[in-house]
């Protein structure tokens, strides 16, 4: 049925076009000679009048759909009365805004009633860039208030320069003053200010002729009333569909009057400067109408005798929007939403995971979040805060942990800016949860400043933001990479945040960790009547409160009310926390360490050492210690400088194997120390380069079982140069690195007994190379369940027993395997951990690690080593966090030669 209807309409349209062509071809030559150019064809419906609010009282008859713009600023009540009178009389009201002041605050109530809104900037003297910026702000604000057709009147040269940018995408029309005047109506005063209205895509002031005229009503009441009456009375006949021609012969005192053909009805229209007795119409068709204007002119409309063929047929094709138009419409949709959503309370959950030194699994901080949003303030109330699943009782005190964030971006994408901060392109279309979207790709125009690069999904119907995914550029702090994806959902005609996921890489003093933040919003309350009361109650609760400031999120501290007052005082923004002190103690049980290794010491971390932005991390635990410094931005550049030193006072065994059998006579003891310094430079928003110098010192000595014939190597002094490429993509963090090392004072070592066929010293191993790659990803399945996956591969050249890779207690761990048991020159390792908050006072961790490496002590082929582990964390008295970790290596070899090794670590932490 739909197909049949379409074919019928198409046939009628074709018949109409053929008939119109035949009629035009049959017109008398005199009629064609009277044809005029398009700019001279009369059009009463194309006239737009401007008036003061009081001039609306001059309207005393039907307006027949003509447009009248009320000039503002003016008294709001008078403007509204004028708009309503014009509407009641059948006209189409609009506003003519002549001053850029706060016009919308007083007139916004009438904006949805308007047909057209015009900004007059003919008197502006600011630069083109500043004017375009101001205009875009005004236009978006107007569309947010409900405006439908928005345009601008400006000088021609200013329009030409402004439309060379993206201003055209914001306009429905544009106009400029002109000394010309319309050919109709005859009552238009010669001195009236007129403007030509054109679509914003028009390139020339002359192309295609004027599409309309803006005329100011004269100050004289009689002249204004006459102009109003003439335009309103002739608008139904003198339409925009007229072309030169006609099918009737109209004469005045025997002289032919120029006629016009209405292409929508095939009626003939003429405007005759003639008194009624002298006007002759041939043929005189029933329904012929005559309208006498105030000037004495007569508007004649002669119906077509073939009117049955004059069907209103329109062929409309949807014009493809360009990326600037999509962004402009999105900004208008956002402005509308800001007006509709004045206050918002959002309830959901927040989860933050990262790796902290000494903790067996990723550290997880979760909370229930209530977000209070106003136009000028965003505050977050955090309830039921849990650290590794265990309840954190703050009693409203400010947490000692600092808030680590990347630099704030001054100009986010899709916002109106004074200069072009971003480059945009249309990357096609996509469907997100059933919503058809335009995909807008953006990148910063200047990579040197903090900005974003990514994509935005904008709904094709209402132009709301459905999803945005971006990576931050120009970072100059400890956060070297930051990637964020926000998803929105429709809530009562507003698109509000549903989920936000942020993945970052933090480069601190001696510690590099991925940070994973997830915010899930379960419920939104739009404009709740008790907004203020609920937020005030949050101030007075034991919850942690944060406020979004220009410098990032800051904790709020309770302010004491005035003496004698029971009112809750407005909270104050607390100064940023920069120091963390931790007392740690415990014991490590490692089969390769001669005796249980106890440790107890103090860790001090300063994120702003001496107010310079330098980060410091120091720990001394009696048996081992480390010191690290990081300068996140050298001289305000994107270069970072870091350094680290580590040492252990206790020796542990370096065990020797041959074909899987331990050779006790070749075992020795070792005590390592390490120092390094490096430079880091982000080269893209996701990738950083690292170059550094490594210094390694390992003291070798005889063990209890070392044979007299075995020559212990000289204590190793190694100088290394390290290059690495590090970054993240789609939640995965990765690195690719190479190290070249040269030993100083390296001499012969090994078994000297005659006939020995085992491993021997090789002079080519004075220097060696290492290379490796690794990837990892953390995940938040729920606030109570988090985990991490990691895979790494390593290889090298000219590696010997003392330069091969090893799994250890402090670095490159393999669950359940003792330090320096497995030494390999090539292979890969996979690690996994899952952490479950089993209750308010207990978190359980599970580990599965596996490696496939080539260890010369176990033969020339690759062998698999698998380990499992578990850990439990629980609060202890005096605010201490206790952690017990156990690991079992299935292929580990005990000192007695038995398979299966256990490694246990017991730790206690107290932050103060």
Q: Give me the pLDDT at residue 194, please.
A: 73
The whole-number average pLDDT for the span 368-388 is 91
Sequence-ordered alpha helix ranges (H) in 145-267? 156-162, 221-234
Does residue 15 surpass a pLDDT of 70? no
Query: How many angstroms separate the CA atoms of 573 and 567, rounded?
Result: 19
Going by pLDDT thresholds of 50, 70 and 90, the confidence category of residue 614 is: confident
Does residue 606 surpass a pLDDT of 80? yes
Q: What share of the chain is helix, strand, coil (3-state, %, to 5)?
A: 15, 45, 35
List the single range of 32-36, 198-202, 365-369, 843-847 with lowest mean pLDDT: 32-36
pLDDT digits (tens, 9 = 90+) for 112-138: 889 999 999 888 777 888 888 888 988
Query: How many angstroms separate the CA atoms of 889 and 178, rounded?
Result: 89
The whole-number average pLDDT for the span 772-781 is 90
Q: Give me the pLDDT at residue 443, please.
A: 93
Does residue 298 surpass a pLDDT of 80? yes
Does residue 104 surpass a pLDDT of 80? no
Q: Is pTM beyond 0.85 here?
A: no
Does residue 19 surpass a pLDDT of 50? no
Evaluate whether 805 touches 824 at the Cβ level (below 8 Å): yes
Q: Give me the pLDDT at residue 569, please.
A: 67
The whole-number average pLDDT for the span 829-852 is 91
More confident residue, 529 or 709: 529
Q: Give me the pLDDT at residue 3, please.
A: 38
Kindly state the DSSP code that residue 760 receives in the 8-state scheme. B
Three-state DSSP state, 790: strand
Does residue 441 surpass a pLDDT of 90? yes
Give the chain's mean pLDDT. Answer: 84
Q: Give me the pLDDT at residue 206, please.
A: 43
Query: How many angstroms separate the CA atoms of 260 and 263, rounded?
Result: 9
Q: Give me the pLDDT at residue 62, please.
A: 92
Closest by Cα among 882, 890, 887 to 903: 887
Q: Give me the pLDDT at residue 603, please.
A: 83
Interacting residues of 570 by C-beta distance below 8 A, sequence separation 6+: 539, 559
List the single range of 84-88, 268-272, 675-679, 896-900 with lowest mean pLDDT: 896-900
Q: Give me the pLDDT at residue 389, please.
A: 76
Query: How many angstroms separate the CA atoms of 722 and 313, rounded?
Result: 75
Measure CA 20 to chain center.
55
Q: Give me the pLDDT at residue 205, please.
A: 40
Strand partners, 867: 849, 889
What does 473-532 look like in DSSP terms, one character per residue? ES--SSEEEEEEEEEEEEETTEEEEEEEEEEEEEEETTEEEEEEEEEEEEEEEES-TTHH
Percent of the chain topping pLDDT 70: 88
Query: How many angstroms separate the CA atoms of 39 and 182, rounded?
Result: 8
More confident residue, 298 or 650: 298
Which element (helix H / strand E) includes 888? strand 880-893
Q: Give me the pLDDT at residue 519, please.
A: 94
Of these ranges, 40-44, 378-382, 858-862, the one predicted with the greatest mean pLDDT is 378-382
Q: Give me the pLDDT at residue 567, please.
A: 61
Q: Give me the pLDDT at residue 395, please.
A: 61
Going by pLDDT thresholds of 50, 70 and 90, the confidence category of residue 563 is: low
Closest by Cα among 896, 817, 902 to 863: 817
Does residue 607 surpass a pLDDT of 70? yes
Of these ranges, 175-184, 504-513, 629-638, the one predicted with the greatest mean pLDDT is 629-638
Q: Count the helices and strands in the chain (H runs, E runs).
A: 9, 53
pLDDT digits (tens, 9 = 90+) for 211-262: 788 999 998 899 999 999 999 999 999 998 899 888 889 998 888 999 999 9
Q: Give me the pLDDT at residue 23, please.
A: 43
List the single range of 300-309, 418-427, 451-460 with lowest mean pLDDT: 300-309
Q: Give me the pLDDT at residue 676, please.
A: 94
Query: Locate tokens 């929508």: which residue?
Result: 264
Closest by Cα among 103, 153, 165 to 124: 153
What does 560-582 look like in DSSP terms, one character per residue? PPPTT--SPPPPEEPPPP-EEEE
Q: Give me the pLDDT at residue 759, please.
A: 56
Q: Give me the pLDDT at residue 305, please.
A: 72
- Strand-strand pairing, 92-97 and 67-72: parallel
The whole-number average pLDDT for the span 867-890 is 90
The whole-number average pLDDT for the span 343-355 is 92
Q: How far apart are the first and last CA of the chain?
A: 79
Three-state DSSP state, 883: strand
Going by pLDDT thresholds of 50, 70 and 90, the confidence category of residue 566 is: low
Going by pLDDT thresholds of 50, 70 and 90, the confidence category of residue 198 is: confident
Q: Give me the pLDDT at residue 282, please.
A: 87
Could you check whether the bond before residue 784 is cis, i.e. omega within 30 degrees of 0? Answer: no
The whole-number average pLDDT for the span 413-437 is 91
């Amino acid at each position: 049925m739909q197909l049949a209807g379409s074919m019928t309409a198409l046939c009628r349209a074709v018949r109409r076009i053929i008939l119109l062509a035949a009629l035009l071809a049959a017109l008398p030559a005199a009629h064609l000679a009277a044809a005029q150019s398009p700019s001279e064809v009369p059009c009463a419906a194309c006239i737009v009048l401007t008036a003061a609010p009081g001039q609306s009282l001059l309207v005393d008859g039907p307006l027949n759909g003509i447009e009248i713009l009320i000039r503002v600023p003016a008294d709001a009540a008078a403007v509204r009365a004028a708009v309503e009178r014009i509407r009641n009389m059948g006209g189409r009201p609009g506003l003519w805004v002549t001053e850029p002041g706060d016009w919308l605050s007083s007139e916004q109530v009438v904006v949805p009633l308007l047909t057209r809104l015009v900004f007059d900037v003919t008197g502006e003297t600011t630069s083109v860039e500043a004017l375009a910026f101001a205009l875009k702000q005004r236009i978006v604000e107007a569309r947010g208030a409900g405006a439908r057709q928005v345009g601008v009147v400006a000088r021609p040269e200013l329009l030409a320069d402004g439309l060379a940018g993206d201003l055209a995408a914001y306009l429905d029309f544009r106009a400029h003053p002109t000394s010309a005047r319309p050919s109709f109506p005859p009552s238009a005063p010669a001195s009236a200010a007129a403007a030509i209205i054109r679509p914003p895509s028009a390139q020339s002031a002359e192309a295609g002729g004027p599409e309309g005229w803006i005329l100011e009503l004269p100050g004289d009441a009689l002249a204004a009333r006459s102009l109003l009456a003439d335009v309103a009375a002739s608008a139904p006949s003198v339409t925009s569909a007229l072309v030169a021609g006609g099918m009737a012969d109209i004469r005045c005192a025997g002289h032919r009057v120029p006629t016009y053909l209405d292409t929508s009805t095939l009626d003939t229209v003429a405007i005759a400067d003639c008194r009624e007795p002298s006007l002759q119409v041939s043929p005189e068709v029933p329904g012929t109408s005559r309208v006498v204007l105030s000037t004495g002119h007569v508007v004649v409309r002669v119906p077509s005798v073939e009117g049955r063929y004059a069907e209103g047929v329109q062929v409309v094709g949807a014009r493809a929007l360009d990326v600037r138009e999509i962004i402009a419409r999105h900004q208008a949709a956002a402005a509308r939403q800001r007006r509709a959503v004045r206050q918002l309370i959002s309830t959901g959950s927040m989860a933050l995971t990262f790796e902290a030194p000494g903790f067996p699994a990723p550290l997880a901080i979760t909370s229930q979040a209530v977000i209070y949003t106003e136009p000028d303030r965003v505050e977050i109330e955090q309830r039921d805060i849990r650290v590794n699943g265990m309840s954190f009782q703050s009693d409203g005190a400010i947490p000692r942990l600092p808030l680590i964030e990347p630099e704030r971006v001054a100009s986010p994408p899709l916002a109106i800016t004074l200069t072009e901060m971003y480059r945009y392109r249309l990357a096609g279309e996509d469907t997100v949860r059933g919503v058809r979207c335009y995909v807008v790709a953006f990148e910063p125009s200047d990579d040197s400043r903090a900005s974003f690069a990514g994509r935005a999904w904008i709904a094709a119907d209402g132009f709301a933001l459905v999803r945005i995914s971006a990576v931050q550029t120009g970072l100059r702090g400890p956060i070297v990479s930051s990637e964020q994806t926000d998803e929105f959902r429709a809530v009562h005609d507003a698109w509000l945040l549903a989920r936000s996921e942020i993945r970052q890489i933090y480069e601190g003093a001696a510690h590099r960790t991925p940070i994973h933040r997830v915010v899930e919003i379960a419920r939104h309350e739009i404009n709740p009547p008790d907004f203020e009361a609920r937020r005030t109650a949050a101030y007075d609760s034991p919850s942690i409160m944060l406020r979004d400031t220009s410098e990032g999120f800051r904790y709020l501290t309770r302010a004491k009310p005035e003496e004698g007052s029971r009112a809750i005082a407005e909270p104050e923004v607390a100064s940023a926390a920069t120091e963390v002190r931790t007392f740690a103690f415990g014991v490590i049980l490692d089969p390769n360490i001669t005796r249980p290794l106890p440790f107890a010491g103090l860790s001090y971390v300063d994120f702003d050492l001496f107010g310079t932005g330098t980060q410091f991390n120091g720990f001394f635990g009696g048996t081992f210690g480390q010191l690290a410094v990081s300068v996140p931005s050298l001289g305000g550049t994107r270069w970072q400088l870091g350094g680290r030193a580590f040492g252990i006072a206790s020796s542990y065994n370096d065990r020797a194997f041959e074909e899987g059998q331990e050779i006790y006579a070749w075992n020795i003891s070792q005590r390592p120390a390490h120092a390094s310094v490096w430079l880091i430079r982000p080269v893209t928003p996701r990738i950083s380069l690292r170059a550094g110098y490594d210094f390694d010192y390992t003291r070798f000595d005889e063990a209890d079982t070392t044979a007299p014939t075995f020559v212990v190597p000289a204590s190793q002094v190694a100088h290394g140069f390290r290059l690495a490429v590090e970054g993240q993509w789609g939640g995965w963090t990765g690195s690719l690195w190479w190290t070249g090392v040269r030993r100083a004072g390296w001499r012969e070592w090994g078994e000297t007994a005659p006939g020995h066929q085992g491993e021997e010293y090789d002079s080519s191993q004075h220097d060696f190379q290492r290379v490796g790659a690794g990837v990892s990803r953390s995940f938040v399945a729920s606030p109570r369940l988090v985990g991490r996956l990691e895979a790494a591969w390593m290889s090298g050249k000219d590696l010997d027993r003392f330069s091969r890779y090893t799994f250890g207690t402090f670095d490159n761990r393999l669950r359940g395997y003792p330090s320096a048991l497995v030494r390999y020159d090539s292979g890969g390792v996979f690690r996994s951990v899952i952490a479950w908050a089993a209750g308010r006072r207990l978190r359980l961790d599970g580990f599965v690690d596996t490696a496939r490496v080539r260890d010369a002590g176990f033969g020339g082929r690759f062998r698999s080593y698998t380990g499992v582990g578990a850990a439990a964390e629980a609060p202890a008295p005096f605010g201490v966090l206790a952690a017990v970790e156990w690991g079992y290596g299935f292929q580990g070899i005990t000192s007695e030669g038995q398979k299966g090794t256990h490694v246990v670590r017991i730790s206690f932490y107290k932050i103060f």
